[in-house]
């Protein structure tokens, strides 16, 4: 992000390059359910199952994704999933 007029008051304008990256994240539709890890606000990690047909959007926020996993969003929540599971159990549906 870049500072704009009024930056001393904390106003910022989104950087177009950053927005383009977000818009280009890949999307995947699950062919069969997969296991995922959800991190609650308390920091607790919870194992969940994402259902068949769920459309997952790839996360570019790697700092919140568990080490060795792929970050995805489903229904507005961030999950960490196995790359092997994502490749074997999902199909890429979009890059928008």
> With contact defined as beta carbons under 8 Å apart, do 64 and 83 qualify?
no
* SS3 assignment for the chain: CEECCCHHHCCEECCHHHHHHHHCCCEEEECCCEEEEEECCCCCEEEEEECCCCEEEECCCHHHCCCCCEEEEECCEEEEECHHHHHHHEEEEECC
Instruction: Report the Cα–Cα distance between both ends of the chain, in Å, rounded.
Output: 21
Q: Is 75 inside any structural domain?
A: yes
Q: Is 10 inside any structural domain?
A: no
Q: Is 34 inside any structural domain?
A: yes
Task: Name 68's bridge partners.
Answer: none
pLDDT in tens, 40-94: 989 899 999 999 999 999 998 788 899 999 999 999 999 999 999 999 999 999 7
More confident residue, 22 or 45: 45
Q: Is 72 inside any structural domain?
A: yes
Q: Is 78 inside any structural domain?
A: yes
Residue 5's Cα: distance from chain center in Å?
A: 31
Q: How many separate domains does the chain show?
A: 1
CATH number at residue 65: 2.30.30
Residue 4 pLDDT more than 90?
A: no
Give the domain extent around 44: 26-94
Residue 2 pLDDT more than 60?
A: no
pTM exceeds 0.85 for this model: no
Half-sphere exposure of residue 76: CA atoms within 13 angstroms, side-chain side: 0
Q: Is 15 inside any structural domain?
A: no
């Amino acid at each position: 992000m870049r500072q704009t007029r009024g930056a001393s008051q904390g106003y910022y304008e989104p950087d177009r390059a950053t927005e383009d990256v977000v818009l280009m994240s890949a999307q995947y539709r699950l062919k069969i359910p997969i296991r995922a890890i959800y991190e609650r606000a308390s920091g607790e990690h919870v194992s969940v199952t994402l259902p068949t047909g769920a459309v997952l959007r790839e996360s570019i926020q790697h700092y919140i994704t568990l080490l060795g996993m792929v970050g995805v969003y489903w229904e507005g929540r961030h999950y960490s999933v196995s790359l092997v599971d994502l490749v074997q159990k999902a199909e890429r549906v979009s890059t928008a």
